[in-house]
Structure 1
Amino acid sequence: MANHKSIFFLLFILSFAGKVNAQDLPFREMPPAAKIFTSGTLMGRLTDGLGFRFHWATAGLTVENLSFKAGEEARTIGETIDHIYTLVLMFTNATMEQPTTFPIETKDLTFDEKRTKTLSFIQTASALLKMSNDDDFERYNLVFQQPNGSGQKLPFWNGLNGPLEDALWHIGQVVTLRRMAGNPINPKVDFMNGTVSN
């Protein structure tokens, strides 16, 4: 797949970041399923599931919720969301054939900005994956760059069992923590069908 597609989709998705209200954020419901099974459409669907779960795990969180944590040594909900942001960025950068440069700073972003950007990253990755063929995945490497010039390069397989699955893991933690904080997710969300009733 030509790299100009990555640039096009990045600009398209990011053009909406920060300009939408909560009702317009992506993944309120799962997008329609593809008509055919390919490596690209399967990975795109898996990424859509990540977006749907993140959307609802973070919808309606309060400022007080963000500081909640299960114990003294545990991350707060807000810190967990920061970590999900980093993981999703790493995965999306791989699909865009871009390196991830550390450290990744999130302290200057509000919660709403982080939530919007995370969903936009997921939407970008999903769109690119759905257009991908088998050969494209050979180029979707995780490339990490440190300030001291050192780095690491890992194949897309590591992106699956690494940041993608780790993000899903931590989204589940957010769901549990917010329930403990007294603000469970919307009970009308149907995760099997990817819908929410009004």
Structure 2
Amino acid sequence: MKHVYILLILISSVMFSQNEDVLPFREIPEYPDTYTTNLVAARMIDGLGFRYYWASEGLRTEDLLYKSSPDAREAQETIDHIYGLSKFIRNNMLPTNKDTSDKISDFKIKRQQTLMNLKAVSDALKSTNQPFDLKQTTVPFWNIINGPVEDAVWHCGQVVMMRRASGNPFTSNVSLFSGQVKK
């Protein structure tokens, strides 16, 4: 019986590590030949996903606990806020396929869910040639862009700053301009 438990733990570990390898937004997908309103909105979400992926990639416990001053947020609180913003974006942009999860305490799971929320929105926007129905959201679409989308981009920059200050700088092997990992 002991061997069965060990085998199950090993299989779970391998499956989880493989799942980490396939998280979305390691790179931004190739851009399309044409543009539509949906594709522009999706590209904004892709850019946010890419920045979040790399801002949060390889964070250590000491990075998550870092805060710039006694009354500032810890990096993990900023990560929590970005997750909340991704959930707000998904739940207001998608008529179905909502993120109904409760508070997530594990950083790796929260990171994965944040990226999956953004991926769901990006995929939904890319999946149709029909213009996005501005009336399908509970808040104005434009407020989603200048509110939670841009707020999340802002907070990704804060995470990058905090990780640098805690001794774990953002990788230089990423091009924010092209959305690609440098070869």
TM-score under structure 1 length normalisation: 0.77
Q: Distance in 1 between matches of 2:20 and 2:107?
A: 12
Structure 2 unmatched runs, 5+: 1-15
Is the aligned partner of 1:67 residue 2:101? no
Identity over aligned pairs, percent: 39
1:73-129 CA distance string (max 9 Å, x none): 111010000000000111111221259899x842x4310000000000111000111
Residue in structure 2 matched with residue 118 of structure 1 by the alignment: 114
Aligned to 2:4: none
> Size of the alignment, in residue pairs?
168
Q: Does the C-alpha gap of structure 1 residues 99 and 81 become closer, same or farther in structure 2, counting only changes over 3 Å?
A: same
Match of 1:178 in 2: 163
Structure 1 portions without partners, runs of 5+: 1-17, 144-153
Matching of residue 188 in structure 1 with residue 164 in structure 2: no
Q: Do residues 156 (structure 1) and 141 (structure 2) align?
A: yes
- Maintained 8 Å contact 1:90/1:100: no
Q: 1:173 to 1:115 in 2, by over 3 A?
A: same
Structure 1 residue 129 and structure 2 residue 102: aligned?
A: no
Tell me the amino acid that sits aligned with residue 111 of structure 1: F
Q: Determine the C-alpha separation between the residues in 2 that align with 1:121 and 1:101.
A: 7
Who is 1:138 aligned against?
Answer: 134
Q: Deviations over 1:13-40 (max 9, x none)?
A: xxxxx68433221111111112211000
- Which residue does the alignment assign to 2:52? 54
Q: Provide the alpha-carbon RMSD of the alignment.
A: 2.3
Specify the SS of the correspondent of 1:21: helix
What TM-score comes out, normalization by structure 2 length? Answer: 0.83
Q: Contact 1:30–1:194 at 8 Å: present in 2 too?
A: yes
How do 1:76-87 residues align onto structure 2 when only pairs under 5 Å count? 76-87=74-85
- Note the alpha carbon deviations across 1:23-66, whole angstroms, 9 max, x for none: 22111111111221100011111110011000000000001111
Task: Tell me by how many angstroms 1:137 deviates.
Answer: 3.0
Contact 1:26 1:123 survives alignment (8 Å): yes
* Structure (1 or 2) with the larger CA radius of gyration: 2
